[in-house]
Every structure is written in structure tokens, then in C-alpha cells.
Amino acid sequence: MLESLRKSILSEADSEDLRVIVISANGPVFSSGHDLKELTSAQGREHHVQVFNTCSEVMTLIQDIPVPVMAMVNGVATAAGCQLVASCDIVIASEKSTFATPGVNVGLFCSTPAVAIGRTVPRKVALEMLFTGSPISAHDALLHGLVSKVVPENRLEEETLAIAERICWASQPVVALGKATFYSQMAQGRDAAYATASKVMVENLALRDGQEGIRAFIEKREPVWSHTTEKAHD
């Protein structure tokens, strides 16, 4: 499943038409994480290393790929499934969704999910989830910042697609630049983050689409994006 997910994410990665990726699932479970039958001693250490390396690569890919990645969650997201939710840029969840890191209860602490979850929710919330394995509701997930929005189940697809369409309206290279910069500066101290962001703002202004947006605002019209990295000036 991880290999399939990676392949799907990368399948149109270089396409100029790709604007947003939405990850969803069929059935009552969004993702229950790793198959514990793959993690017994019978498979051996080498297999275990491969499983967790692949998982980490997929989670970092979600944040490294230039287009926004959304999760549309309608059910249970546990362990690496919760990690997947935490790794996505935007998450829309139905009211019935729940989120948990229950590994501790089967003797396998959710250390890799903790990387994404600990960078998404407050530390003490993350540690309660990790130490107890108890699930949190969709509304608690919203309160703590694990998800972006909670909606009734019958409006989940509508709300998700509305946000996706809004992202699609924007200039692709501007969104790509903004996403990369956001994650880059979040890993830096305050002063370094401002230096990085200031430099990128200047780079953004040099883009053809950056100047088109400003002209359109001044001229009180809709912008006509080129969706290219073509420069307006040096």
C-alpha cells in the first residue's frame, strides 16, 4: 500500500496540469496503519527496516512534492494512518472520524507516527495520544490542529472539493514556491525564517505570475495565470 501510494503521488508530479492531490479511502477505515502480521520476527530485521524506511519516505514525499496534498477522512485513522493525516497539508474530516496512536497497547510504541503528530499538535496532546493509545474525536482533532475542518459526512466530498478547486484556481508555481518555503522556514529559527521568507518574496515578485497578479489587482480584473516559472524580470 505504501509503494502504491508513493507511485500514485509521483505519477503526475511533473505535469503542468497537476494542482492538488486528494488522498481518501473507501469503507469505515481511512487507514489503520501497518499490518502487524508483516512485523513479526518471521519477516526479520531487514524487512522491518524496509517497511519503516518506505513509510518515512512516503510521509516526507507528501510534504516535499510541490503541489498541496489533502486528506479526505471519513472514518478511523490510527498509527501510521494517523501519521499520514498529520503529514498532509490540509485535512477535511467527517464528524464520525477518530484518530489514535494505539501502538503502545500492542507493545510497539508509535515512534514514527510521533514525528509527524508531534510537529502538528501540541506536545502534551501528542504524548497523551502516544502514552495511552486512546482515540480522539474529529472535533478534538480540529481543536488541537490535527485536521483543518470537520464537516457532516454528507458534506465531506463537497467541502473537500471546494477547497481543492480554490487551490486549483491559483498559480501553480506560486503555490509550489509557497509550500516549499513554508516547510523550509518552519524548520528554522525566527531570524533565519524571516531571511528565507524575505528572499522568497523577492523571487516570487520576479515571476511572471507574481507580476500578473499585482497588475490584475491594480486594474481590477481577474488574473490570467501562465502557470509557468517564467520570469518577469531578473
Residue 227 in domain: no
Q: Could you tell me if 119 and 31 lie in one domain?
A: yes
Q: Could you tell me if 132 and 183 lie in one domain?
A: no
Q: Could you tell me if 33 and 135 lie in one domain?
A: yes
Query: Which of 152, 168, 184 marks a domain boundary?
Result: 168
Q: Could you tell me if 84 and 45 lie in one domain?
A: yes
Going by pLDDT thresholds of 50, 70 and 90, the confidence category of residue 13 is confident
* C-alpha torsion sign, points 111, 113, 116, 122: negative
30-60 confidence digits (pLDDT tens): 999 999 999 999 999 999 999 999 999 999 9
Q: Could you tell me if 69 and 162 lie in one domain?
A: yes
Q: Could you tell me if 49 and 96 lie in one domain?
A: yes
52: left (phi over 0), alpha (psi -120 to 50) or beta: alpha
Residue 14 has a pLDDT of: 83
Tell me which residue range forms the domain holding 194.
Answer: 171-218
CA distance 129 to 102: 8
User: How confident is the model over 181-209, as a mean pLDDT?
Assistant: 98
- Provide the number of structural domains found in the chain: 2
pTM across the whole model:
0.95
Residues 90, 142 contacting (CB under 8 angstroms) = no
Q: Could you tell me if 43 and 141 lie in one domain?
A: yes
